Amino acid sequence: MPKVIYYTAMTLNGFLADDDDSLDWLFVVPRGEGGDEDFARFLDGVGALVQGSTTYEWVLEHEDLIAHPEKWPAFYGARPTFVFTSRDLPDVGGADVRFVSGSVRDSWPAIVQAAGDRDVWIVGGGDLAGQFADAGLLDEILVSVAPATLVSGKPLLPRDLGAEALELIAVRHVGGFAELTYAVRRP
């Protein structure tokens, strides 16, 4: 069974994106040594990705992927990407993007099959990661805390998960970031 990992970055005060769903605040933060190599190692262990429609749309627009679908592999490779949405969204030509709706539990068998013997990466957003937590499917939260704050925005994980549900298992200093890894305990 694959491990489901919510791997993301957030501001010091807990926001993933600003009120307009932008991640521009993140791209001005220096990554530091080893960041790209660490990410490549993480991605090697990933068999399938899941993301919400807002995350998908932001990546499409930010990277102009409809006009330049050849950029997709630089982000996700050939891995299947499940996009949870209730709307019709454009497809990236040549990418293995699978639009799904409904509960994460309903799509879980297809996600597991696509991941094979590798992990599932929840790319974003926070509410989708919360839906996986609600369904008892979230195994780990790996969050890089950036040296930045926002007045308001989209929260990391809009759910109540206390110390009984989260166990800090690793802490690292990566450039300007503090990387925290939490195991999610299931009841």
What does pTM read for this prediction?
0.94
Residue 8, domain member (yes or no) = no
CATH number, position 156: 3.40.430.10
In a domain, 1, yes or no: no
Its domain, for residue 148, covers 17-118+126-177
pLDDT exceeds 70 at position 111: yes
42-71 pLDDT per residue, tens = 999 999 999 999 999 999 998 999 999 999
CA distances to 48, 59, 79, 176, 185 from 160, rounded to whole Å, are 26, 28, 31, 28, 13
Q: Is residue 187 part of a domain?
A: no
Domains identified in the chain, total number: 1
Give the per-residue pLDDT at 163.
92
Query: Is residue 33's pLDDT more than 60?
Result: no
DSSP 3-36: PEEEEEEE-TTSEEE-TT---TTGGGS---TTHH
